[in-house]
Structures are given as C-alpha cells and as structure tokens.
Amino acid sequence: MQNHKRQGSLSSQFILRLAIAKRSAGIAIAMLASLSMASISVFIVLKFRDIDNQKPANPVVAVPEIKTVTALGRIEPEGEVIKLSAAMSGEGSRVEKILVKEGDMVKTGQVIAILDNSDRLQAELTEAKAEVNIIKAKIAQIQAGAKPGEITAQKAIIDRLAAESQGDIDTQKVTLEKLQSELLNAEAENHRYQELYTAGAISASQRDSKNLNVETAKKSLQAAQSQLKKLELSSQQKIKEASATLNQISEVRKVDVQAAIAELNRADAVVKKATINLQKAYVKSPQNGQVFEIYTHPGELISNNGIADIGKTSQMYVVAEVYESDITKIIQGKQVRIVSDTFSQELQGKVERIGLQVRKQNLTNTDPSSNIDNRIIKVHIRLNKAASHQAAKFTNMQVKAIISL
C-alpha cells in the first residue's frame, strides 16, 4: 500500500517537473522569437534610413541651351533684283525691239532693248551735226577776207571736205555701233551655246559655229574701228591743210571769228545732247547678270514694272527677317543653314551683314495663329558657291534660315 502511494507521489512529481520544463522551453522560444523580430525591425529601419539619405532633397531640372535662331527669309541675287526701264517721255516710251530672252545671261553695257524713238533721235543727231558743219562753213566764209575769188574757192573746198568727211564718219559710226551690238549678241549667244554644250544638249559643231560668229563679229568690229580712225585722221588732215591755205590767202577779222566760234560751241552742245538722247533709246544692262522676266514686248508701252528684271545670280543671298528680340544674338560670320521643301538638302551660308533698321514683318508662315505684326531686322546671308548655284533659279522664294549662335 505504501509502495503504491510512493509510486503515485513520484509520478505526480515527474509530471509537475515535465510541465515546468515545457513551460520554460516555451518561454525561451518566445523570447528568441521576440529578439529575432526586434533585430529584423532594426535592420529594416536602418536600411530605409540609408536609402532616404541617398535621395536628393530637391531634384534639379536641366534647362536645354538654345543654340540657334530660326527666321523666315527669301532668296535674292547679289545687289537685289534690278528693274530695267527707260526715261519716260510725255507721251510714253514704246519698245521697238527686245534683244534678249528670259534666262539669258547678259554683260555690262549689253543692249537689252531698243525704243521706237531711236530713228527720230538719230535724225535729230544728224541734223545737229549738219548744223555744226554749216557753222564751220560760216567760219570759213568769215575767213575769206579781201580776196573773194580765191577765198570763195578755198571755202568751197573746205565745205566739201568737211561735209564729205563728216558724212563718211557719221556713216562709219552708225556701222560701228551696229557691229558692237552684233558682237555683244554673238558673245551672249556663244556663252549660252557653251553652257548647252557643257550640259550635253547640243553638238560640238553647233557650239563651234557660235564661237566662229563671235570671232567674225570681232574682226568686223576691229576693221570698222580701224576704218573710222582712218576717216577721222584723213578728214582732220584734209581740213587742216585746206584751212591753212585759206589763212594764207585771207585776212581774218578776230571779232567775226569769235562770234562764229561761239555759235559753233552752241552747236556742239546740241550735238552732245542729241547723242545722249539717242543713247537713252538703247536700254543697256548695268551689270553682268541673268534676265529673270521680260515685262514689255515689242510694240508695247513701257509698263510700271519696267522692261525687264535682271540679277547677278552668280552670287545668291538669303535675306532673313529676324525678330528684334533675337537680333542681339546674331553675330556676323556665323554659319547658317537654309531649309526648304524645294531643296533635297540644306543650303549653307554665313551671316554677312545685319541691317540697321527695324521694320514690319513681310514674310509669314502658314500658321494662322502666328503674329504677323512682329518687328524684324533684316539679316543678309551670303550663300556658298554650291548653294548659290542651287538657289539661282529660285529668286524671291521663301525659305527658313537656321542661324547658329
């Protein structure tokens, strides 16, 4: 019985110790778990604090640097487009002949057109020269002096020589002017055929024929010039000899001679004026260039647009309209790119000159919301050789200029 109680007591103690051991193990496990969670929490807090410390407090936004100024512009030849016209008379001036075609290359001094008053002006010049001859004859008459027979005979000789010589000289000068005009036309035609030959549009024989025409015209002109000099020298010499003979046989009154010389000076002035008027009937090119457009044709009165437009297309420019707010950024010599749908690639140029006047904007883009009342300053951009060649056929075309800063 006692053994049974002792065994029961031992069993109770064992159970109690086992329970205490299990409870202690649970507490230990719980403590370990708590420590682990605390360690993880501390690690996470420290990690995120490091990440926060690495982030910039105030992020900086980069502003792109402006490196170009863009402006609308138009293509122009060097020296702008020149309108050829003539002095307007009271009843208007009418064109008789046009000696060029659109697209022709012309040279300085080349005759472009002849007005219908050229014949009348030529007649006036001839009449003025005849008056000079009459006065010269009068001078000779004054110089007759006291021997009427001999003096009259000698005067007649002088008059005849002067008239014949002057007539020959006048005729030769007209021929010379005609040959000069023919040479200019032949040279222009030869230049055009040379370009056609270079482009492969014509044969060498066709080109050579025009070159031969130039050489023939030069020889004819040289021969005419030589003949004119001979006529003038011969005329001067003959009249000089005849006048010397007259002086020998006549008694000359100085007062009469002075009066006649005054008349002669007046007549010479009339000749000079008539010569200038006749020259105005021949409209000439003031420079080398190309004919853009012909406005007045043979038989028509000269219009308000003049006779023709020409320009020096060997060097082309773009005149850009830069807003006055951007003009201080533009520097002479800076590179410029020219853009247009017409060109397959950009044209290149440099800023050559910056205008000195603020103007109202003339060029506008297709954006209906754009401000067309902007104030601009013109910037002249010189295109390089290749760009000039491309732009030569597009005078006044609107383009976009991108100017480097």
The residues spanned by each domain of the chain are: 1-61, 88-294, 311-404
DSSP labels for 28-90? HHHHHHHHHHHHHHHHHHHHHHHHHHHS-SSPPPPPPPP-EEEEEEEEEEEEEEEEE-----T
**pLDDT higher at 166 or 265:** 265
Cα 13 to Cα 5, 7, 8, 19, 22, distances in angstroms: 12, 10, 9, 10, 14
Give the pTM.
0.51
What is the average pLDDT value for the chain, to the nearest integer? 83
* Burial degree of 209 (CB within 10 A; 0-12, 13-18, 19+): middle
pLDDT of residue 42: 43
- How does residue 14 score in pLDDT terms, banded at 50, 70 and 90? very low
Q: Are 290 and 316 in contact (CB under 8 A)?
A: no
What is the CATH class of 311-404?
A: mainly beta
The dihedrals phi and psi of 313, each to the nearest 5 degrees, come to: -80, -5
pLDDT in tens, 115-171: 999 999 999 999 999 999 999 998 887 776 656 677 788 788 888 888 888 888 889
Beta-sheet strands, E only, within 196-305: 282-284, 289-294
Query: In the block, which residue shows the tokens 């003049």?
Result: 306
Euclidean distance between CA atoms 316 and 75, whole angstroms: 7
Computed over its alpha carbons, how large is the radius of gyration of the chain?
50
pLDDT in tens, 320-375: 999 999 999 999 999 999 999 999 999 999 999 999 999 998 887 765 555 566 89
Euclidean distance between CA atoms 308 and 83, whole angstroms: 6
Among 282, 274, 349, 363, which Cα is nearest to 321's? Answer: 363
Q: How many CB atoms are located within 10 Å of the residue 371 CB? A: 9
Euclidean distance between CA atoms 393 and 340, whole angstroms: 14
Query: In the block, which residue shows the tokens 């760009």?
Result: 387
Among 300, 383, 368, which Cα is nearest to 337's? Answer: 383
Euclidean distance between CA atoms 244 and 315, whole angstroms: 59
What is the side-by-side order of every strand in the sheet holding 111-115? 95-98, 111-115, 282-284
Among 302, 386, 326, which Cα is nearest to 69's? Answer: 326
Can you tell me whether residue 347 is helix, strand or coil?
strand
Average pLDDT over residues 19-23: 50
Structure tokens at 373: 């009342």
